[in-house]
Amino acid sequence: MERHSLNMNSITRLAPAKVNLSLKILGLRPDGFHDLSSLMLPVSVFDELEFERKQDGDLEFTCSAPDIPVDEGNLVVRAARLFCNTFKVPSQLRISLKKGIPHGAGLGGGSSDAASTLLALDALFETRLARQKLAELAAILGSDVPFFVYESAAWIAGRGERVSPVDSIKSVPLLLVKPPFGVPTPWAYTHWRDSEEIPGVSYGEQSSAAGLLYNDLERPVFQKYFLLAELKRWLLEQPEVEAALMSGSGSTVFAVLRVKEAGLALSERLENEFGPHLWVHLCETMP
């Protein structure tokens, strides 16, 4: 999101995570995707990408996380190839990714990295493309990628390719909590229709300072990954927490805090209750 450039030969960008403040599934599309209505907000957790033009050779990509692929299957590589091939610019690039967003968390890290790649290359090669054009490219790469191109809170529709930025949402403090496992997004959507609610677990709309919270994917995901239901239940019982929800298809559950200063004490109680293996991060939304 932030950008630093030096003689237009190198750029460093921060790629923010996101949370889904709301996620409604409207039905299955003929192309196999689902029609969605979702309010998505960038949050202050970041991956960092460095882009540098070089004199010869082909695209080089490295990543700080050993479990992230660095070949053509990576969204950063795919985004760079797509941009260079579409606009006939040389792929003589060196790209490095420093991960700060956990993988498989429902926080959109890979999609944000891909969008940041398109935005960085647009600046690096001075193509000066409209956001809509970049969003059209982004939609080729994945459903969440167009959202990150607009660098704003936004309602998304369709399978994610229709993005309507909004500017009326205030910043709120969040505590993000991710257990040491991920949830496969295709699995969550596939099991949405035939899933059932767990008795005693709250699935209804919640009011918060940021707006109404709800997520249709909690039903299938909680059924298989009961720890996430327990995390949400426990968070909702804490006096510092205004609302709690799973983000996207999980596995991150986030709490909307009444005040940010309460996050540290809540984090300590969370570790005492669930153990030290959770990834816990205090942040805020960036509308």
> CB count, 10 Å around CB of 181?
13
Q: Cα-Cα-Cα-Cα dihedral of 175, 102, 12, 44, to 10°?
A: -10
Q: What is the rounded average pLDDT of the residues 198-227? A: 94
Tell me where in the chain the CATH 3.30.230.10 domain(s) lie: 3-165
Catalytic hit among 47, 113, 122, 144:
144
> CB count, 10 Å around CB of 49?
23
Q: Is 18 a catalytic residue?
A: yes
Is residue 84 over pLDDT 80? yes
| Predicted local distance difference test score (pLDDT) of residue 25 | 94
The amino acid sitting at 128 is R
Is residue 221 over pLDDT 70? yes
Is residue 130 over pLDDT 80? yes
pLDDT digits 0-9 by tens, 265-277:
999 999 999 999 9
Give the domain 3-165 fold.
Answer: Ribosomal Protein S5; domain 2 (3.30.230)
Tell me where in the chain the CATH 3.30.70.890 domain(s) lie: 173-284
Q: Is 170 a catalytic residue?
A: no
For residue 283, the SS3 value is strand
The CATH number of 173-284 is 3.30.70.890
Q: Cα-Cα-Cα-Cα dihedral of 35, 41, 43, 46, to 10°?
A: 50
Q: What is the rounded average pLDDT of the residues 16-25? A: 96
| Predicted local distance difference test score (pLDDT) of residue 6 | 46
Of the pLDDT bands very low, low, confident and very high (cuts 50, 70, 90), residue 159 is confident
Please answer whether residues 85 and 78 qualify as being in contact, where contact means their C-beta atoms are separated by less than 8 angstroms.
Answer: no
Using a cut of 0.85, tell me whether the model's pTM lies above it. Answer: yes
Catalytic hit among 18, 47, 113, 232:
18
